[in-house]
Amino acid sequence: DAKTTQPTSMDCAEGRAANLPCNHSTISGNEYVYWYRQIHSQGPQYIIHGLKNNETNEMASLIITEDRKSSTLILPHATLRDTAVYYCIVRVTNAGKSTFGDGTTLTVKP
Amino acid sequence: EADIYQTPRYLVIGTGKKITLECSQTMGHDKMYWYQQDPGMELHLIHYSYGVNSTEKGDLSSESTVSRIRTEHFPLTLESARPSHTSQYLCASSRSGANVLTFGAGSRLTVL
């Protein structure tokens, strides 16, 4: 697996966009970028994934740089319920096990 | 609405007891996983299975064992629990050809 680097923690004001960065400079051509989040020790929840094009779903947007060495998860209008640990993972799509690092603790403040 | 179920959610037992944590999924996923997570710490993969009768050790050594006799069921067993086994155990599954994990709510084990 390519190694990922994320900031330990971030704050965001409620209603504003939360931009969570992830560096994955050793990513290989067939590896996807996946994002999960874990709210207060619940099981992690899948958010979004992508290969090289930007992706958007009902939860978030994923922006991947052209060289694919970094990406940003965007929560367009953060709410208090988005406070969680966010994990960036790089894997080939058909691989089995996934390794979760320390992630970024996002705190959304009123 | 959960498609992957873990029981019990909470368990407090004494040292030396045998315990089994249950995990079942209704999605027909081939792949299943067990992660261990201490409070405030990262998740560590301890077991995984790519199908019936297939089990492998994960990245973190664990004294627990698993079995996969049916596709939907992936129980984890500790033959003799110790206080060092106190942790949260999270089960997950994914289908072949994809890498999106669906997690259960977790089983929080306390060994006294």
Q: Give the pLDDT band (50/70/90) at residue B1.
A: low
Over the stretch B70-107, which tens digit does the pLDDT of each residue have? 999 999 999 999 999 999 999 999 987 777 999 999 99
pLDDT of residue B59: 84
Kindly determine whether residue A42 and residue B105, on different chains, have CB atoms separated by under 8 Å: yes
Of A36, A41, A99, the CB nearest to B39: A41
Would you call B92 an interface residue with chain A, using a CB distance cutoff of 8 Å? yes
For A66-91, letters b (16+ CB in 10 Å) and e give eebebbbbbbeebeeebbbbbbbbbb
Of A44, A92, A95, the CB nearest to B103: A44
Interface of A with B in 73-92 (CB under 8 A): 91-92
Place of tokens 């045998």: B18
Over the stretch A8-29, which tens digit does the pLDDT of each residue have? 999 999 999 999 999 999 998 8
The whole-angstrom separation of Cα A84 and Cα B6 is 22
Over 70: is that where the pLDDT of B65 sits? Answer: yes
Regions of chain A short of the pLDDT cut 70: 1-2, 93-96
Q: Which residues of B touch A102 (CB under 8 A)?
A: 42
pLDDT of residue A93: 67
pLDDT of residue A96: 64
The whole-angstrom separation of Cα A71 and Cα A33 is 8
Of B59, B99, B102, the CB nearest to A94: B99
pLDDT of residue A91: 85
Would you call A8 an interface residue with chain B, using a CB distance cutoff of 8 Å? no
Q: Give the CA-trace dihedral at B54, B72, B28, B98, to 10 degrees.
A: -50
The whole-angstrom separation of Cα B24 and Cα A53 is 35
Give percent above pLDDT 70 in chain B.
97
Q: Which residues are registered as beta bridge partners of A88?
A: A35
Interface size, chain A vs chain B, as Cβ–Cβ contacts under 8 Å: 60
Average pLDDT, chain B: 93
The more confidently predicted of residues A28 and B11 is B11
| CA A61, A41, A11, A22 torsion-angle sign | negative
- Report the alpha-carbon angle A10-B45-A51, nearest 5: 60
